[in-house]
Structure 1
Amino acid sequence: MSPGIPHDDIRWSGPRALLIEVESLDAVLALHAQLVEHPLTGQVEAIAAARTILVVFDSRTNARAARTAIATLDARQSKDAMVSGNPVRIEVVYDGGDLAEVGRLTGLGVEGVVEAHTGQLWTAAFGGFAPGFAYLVGENEVLNVPRRTSPRTAVPAGSVALAGNFSAVYPRRSPGGWQLIGRTSARMWDLEREQPALLRPGMSVQYVAVRELIELQEQPGGNAVSPDAPAGPSLEVVTPGPQSLIQDLGRPGLGDLGVSASGAADTASARQANRLVGNEPGDAVIETVLGGLAVRARGELTGALTGAAAPALIKGPGGNRPAPMYAPFALHHGESLQLDLPYAGQRTYLAVRGGIDVEPVLGSRATDLMSGIGPAILEQGTMLPVREVERGRVVGAAEPSTLPPAVLQGGGTAVLRITAGPRQDWFTPESRAALTKQAWTVTAESNRIGVRLATAEGGQPLERASAEELPSEGVVAGSLQVPPSGLPVLFLADHPVTGGYPVIGVVVPEDLPAAAQLPPGIAIRFVEVDPETLQPEVTPKP
């Protein structure tokens, strides 16, 4: 009989996700292979990490049933299926800026490091912080070195690096603290390929030393939207405001590639805007932050504004008129729509009947600022085509806002419901209590990646019960990750797929739209709720 996985090693990460702990990286790869080959009912993601697998589901019911099913699985099975085919060959010029330092740290010298790196087979264990970034583990630990004490602000694409017991290739220019030992022209991430990521978990790699390479060219961070006028109806961006993006409901299911789901930060408002103009829920809309957006209609359009309520004015040859919030309105050819600073909240959504028709990337039109995938940030002069309206699409009636009173009124204290995080036991009892007993304040450093919090007056940062390092593991949107400062970061739509700090609690998915609208300075209180009912617990936990 299979020994199964102990229930204590299957931790909840919010009401719809499970974090499974196993004894080794081999066990991670074996169990991950099973979950990919035979997904459980309602499984959306299965993200492998150093010692864990995060499995995300579409509902609490399916997550609960999966917890029982996972307990019967054997992480030792299917190991033969982990690596298939010939190793991926990656040619490397060994001239990295940290090569000599790695030689000193390992005692191998420069030539010894190159021999050790090329003389063993490496296995892709799990994805990382960027699309195409794969953590590779070798057959021995002779190259186990610490990260740099001072991370670089920019590591070139194609850099071959070491950190801990892992090797990796940076797929794009990004900050990084790994030790650089060489460079390669292998393209780790290419959207022109059928499989954009060169490496997936379980694949093997052979590094090969060469003397020269064809230099790797950087890929642009986002897909440019054509400035040329489309043939059909369209919107012209006159002024983009502080930040305006194309968003839909995102691209879930690609966590193993290092790609977060992304999508609208406030999904409730994006859905409402589409509903008002008769679109499908996942049609593309414009998400704009703190007003300032101005667009001009090319053709006869129907629009709707939702999310953070803002003064909106339609200007045209026939005069000016106000545009309503939370109701459909006509935007005639040549008229412009201008948004001012919201009364409260941060993000306003503009939908047009038919939907914004930019080119999808990996099945979505969402702009992912963390991964650099999707349409580019909107600029002055950008022309956005609008899809031809299908017959039978009927605009909706006016609706009330979906935002909670604290956001609508721009004051008071916002309340967000949470469930216990997978690493709640990493914190002192006093800190676990402080998370919900004290108020927190949203800081100005918040963005689509996460809401950064500070202590309110009289509050204390959260203190860990242990100082040990947490190996990187999968995280869900809503996670309250706590760095060494003790000040939580609430992950939003563009959060990294994996994180290296413990998660003390998880905001329930139903409250994430409100979290995305919280402006700097507003106070927050967290209330722990029963994950089944999402109501506050009546009796304290034993």
Structure 2
Amino acid sequence: MFNLPETHFNFGGDEYIYAEISRDMRIESNFKAIAVTEELRKREIPGVIDIVSSNASYLVRYNPDIVSARDLLDYLKEIDLTKSNPEKLNLSVRIVEIPAWYDDPVSREYSMRFKSRHPAPDLTDFEYVMKVNGFTDKESFIKSHSETPYLITMVGFLPGTGWHFPLGLQPNEIIQAPKYNSPRTETPERGIGIGGAFNVIYPVNGPGSYQLIGRSAIPLVDKTDPLEETSFLARPGDIWKYRPVKESEYNEIESSVRSGTYHNKVKEIDLSPLEYVQKGKKYIDELMEDF
């Protein structure tokens, strides 16, 4: 039987317990972090103030006047152990379509504005990502990037920022890129970036160091469909799928979002970590068949 990675626990001062599942980014570790933190929220343990899942770890903040560190640690270990068997894990998540305008003029403008901070100042961010990944044709790059489903592994940095990692690919198949030598002081709202093997969409204007390859036509922080219970589109465990759009459709979507008439394409699914471990890309392709 295949077990998910063993978790190592550490105390952070008097109010935090840090749980490290693995030091490297592994999809299996992220599945476990999401499953454990979801279970923790369901149990509503007295004294637990906040629960945050990350790429391959999670953090619990607690009130030591209500629950002792040792008692909470024992409780966390019990929950963590129950989430170490992938046969017993099933995550209820969504597949969400992200309409994306690749190599848009705003991204190119920011590339030029901050080129002194860039590892290749003579190239735009889009051109640089193409080059370091061996692409010579723009459409081939867009096809490769947009056909890959991405798992939301964590939410953070700027509020609502969804960090996402490619699913079902071998390491040599993943589009990757070095970050800026020093961060930009500004990044366009809804800018799509790549740093290392991770992708990100910046929800608002702010600093950033990922290579900008395009922009999302839909917001990440809003009260429009399908956000419902939260103002953040990104949810850990969800799968994002990019769909390339041209300028005219991008503008149409922006307009319908502003008028409140846009409805994003979303599919509710049950995600099995066990089937992903066993079947990899084949399993992801099966999930995406009707989307």
Amino acid at match of 1:101: Y
Matched, 1:66 2:72: yes
Corresponding residue of 1:94: 102
Partner-residue secondary structure (3-state), 2:102: coil
> What's the CA shift string for 1:36-63, capped at 9, x where partnerless?
3334332221111122100111225343
- Alignment-mate amino acid for residue 97 of structure 2: R
Give yes or no for contact 2:6–2:84 (8 Å, CA) kept in 1.
Answer: no
Query: Which of 212, 227, 244 is the aligned partner of 1:180?
Result: 212
Higher RCO structure, 1 or 2 (CA under 8 Å, sep 6+): 2
- SS in structure 2 opposite 1:54? strand
Equivalent positions of 1:218-237 (< 5 A) are none
Partner Cα separation in structure 2 for residue 205 and residue 162 of structure 1: 15
Aligned counterpart in structure 1 of residue 180 of structure 2, from 139, 144, 148: 148
Where in structure 2 are there 5+ consecutive unaligned residues?
Answer: 23-28, 109-124, 256-291
Q: Which residue is equivalent to 2:242?
A: 207
CA distance in 2 between counterparts of 1:90 and 1:136 reads 12
| Change in 2 beyond 3 A, CA 1:57/1:10 | same
Given the alignment of the two structures, is residue 121 of structure 1 paired with residue 149 of structure 2, yes or no? yes
Q: Tell me the residue number matched to 1:29.
A: 34
2:120 aligned partner? none
Superposition deviation, residue 100 in structure 1 = 1.0
Compared CA separation, residues 4 and 186, structure 1 to 2 (3 A): closer
- Taking the aligned partners of 2:4 and 2:72, their CA distance within structure 1 comes to 13
User: Does the Cα contact within 8 Å between 2:3 and 2:84 map onto a contact in 1?
Assistant: no
Cα pair 2:186 2:205 within 8 Å, conserved: yes
Report 1:297-312 matches (<5 A): none
- Say if 2:27 is the partner of 1:19: no
Q: Which amino acid in structure 2 is aligned with residue 69 of structure 1? A: Y
Instruction: Please give the secondary structure, in 1, of the residue aligned with 2:185.
Output: strand
**CA-to-aligned-CA distance 1:489-542 (integer Å, 9 cap, x gap):** xxxxxxxxxxxxxxxxxxxxxxxxxxxxxxxxxxxxxxxxxxxxxxxxxxxxxx
Give 1:54's aligned residue: 59
2:130 to 83, 95, 103: 103
Secondary structure at 1:153 match in 2: coil
2:193–2:201 contact (8 Å) kept in structure 1: yes
1:137 to 165, 182, 194: 165
Q: TM-score with structure 2 length normalisation?
A: 0.66
- Using a 3 Å threshold, how does the CA distance of structure 1 residues 89 and 35 change in structure 2: closer, same or farther? same
Deviation at 1:185, TM superposition (A): 1.9
How far the C-alpha of 1:162 sits from its partner, in A, is 0.8
Q: Deviations over 1:114-147 (max 9, x none)?
A: 1222111111111121111011111134112221
Within 2, Cα distance between the matches of 1:174 and 1:216?
20
- Structure with greater Cα Rg: 1
Q: What are the ranges of 5 or more consecutive residues in structure 1 without an aligned counterpart?
A: 218-542
Distance 1:41 1:173, change over 3 A: same
Residue in structure 2 matched with residue 494 of structure 1 by the alignment:
none
Aligned position for 1:222? none
Letter in 1 for 2:91: M
Once the 2 structures are TM-superposed, how far is the Cα of residue 160 of structure 1 from its aligned partner?
A: 0.8
Listed as ranges, the matches of 1:232-271 within 5 Å are: none
Choose the corresponding residue for 1:81, options 90, 100, 104: 90
TM-aligned CA deviation for residue 179 of structure 1: 0.6
**Post-superposition shift, 1:6?**
6.4
Q: Which amino acid aligns with 2:234?
A: L
Tell me, yes or no, if the aligned pair for 1:82 and 1:203 is still in contact at 8 Å.
no
1:340 corresponding residue in structure 2:
none
Q: What's the Cα RMSD here? A: 2.7
Amino acid of the structure 2 residue aligned with 1:92? A
Whether contact under 8 Å (2:6, 2:21) holds in the other structure is: no
Equivalent position of 1:158 in the other structure: 190
- 8 Å CA contact 1:102–1:113 kept in 2: the answer is no
Question: Partners of 1:180 and 1:167 in 2: how far apart?
Answer: 10
Cα deviation digits, residues 162-207 of structure 1 (max 9, x gap): 1122111111000110010001121101156541001111111111
Q: 1:6 to 1:120 in 2, by over 3 A?
A: closer
Identical columns (%):
24
Change over 3 Å in CA distance of 1:83–1:119 after alignment to 2: farther
Please report how far the alpha carbon of residue 80 of structure 1 lies from its aligned counterpart in structure 2 after TM superposition.
Answer: 4.6
Q: Which runs of 4+ in 1 moved over 4 A?
A: 1-7, 77-80
